[in-house]
Copies of this chain bind each other. A is one copy, B any other.
Amino acid sequence: MWLQKRIILKPKPRGFHLVTEELLERLPEIGQLRVGLAHFFLQHTSASLSINENADPSVRRDLELHLRRLIPDGAAHFAHRLEGPDDMPAHLKASLLGAAVTLPIADGRLSLGTWQGIYLGEHREHGGPRTVLVTLHGDAR
């Protein structure tokens, strides 16, 4: 079985956001798969998808804080500045963190570890809605 679905994530402030539930509530079809893979692909170059801790919000805060130190807004050596000081850092984070995650499906559920969740990294101040193209494939139950 193959299924593809476009999901629009609501606009979010700059930073890291746990979006596991916002994605899964639109994907009841995962329940039909005995074994398979779910590919989540963000169609943007200034945001990211990654897997990290689903509990303490300070992890999301510290991720954002530390990445701002490694890649400062409006660094003097950036030539790409037309869209604002947060734009080139957003592209850097997009390549370092990645635009996609692939997750295993087992017995009708995403097989995440106990502490894992899906993070949207919103790297622009005003990124707006973000589109995720989800591709599910696997063996039906």
Residue A61 CB within 8 A of the other chain: yes
- The answer to whether residues A52 and B4 also contact, given A66-B71, A112-B43 and a CB cut-off of 8 A, is no
**How big is chain A's contact interface, by range?**
35 or more
Residue A111 CB within 8 A of the other chain: yes
State the number of copies, please.
Answer: 3
State the CA gap A3–B79 with chains docked (Å): 41
Q: Is the interface of A mostly helix, strand, loop or mixed?
A: mixed
| Chain B min CB distance to A118 (Å) | 11
Report yes or no: A135 in contact with B2, Cβ–Cβ below 8 A: no
Report yes or no: A79 in contact with B104, Cβ–Cβ below 8 A: no
Residue A51 CB within 8 A of the other chain: yes
Residue A28 CB within 8 A of the other chain: no
Q: Which residues of B have CB within 8 Å of A75?
A: 66
- The answer to whether residues A113 and B45 also contact, given A2-B139, A95-B52 and a CB cut-off of 8 A, is yes
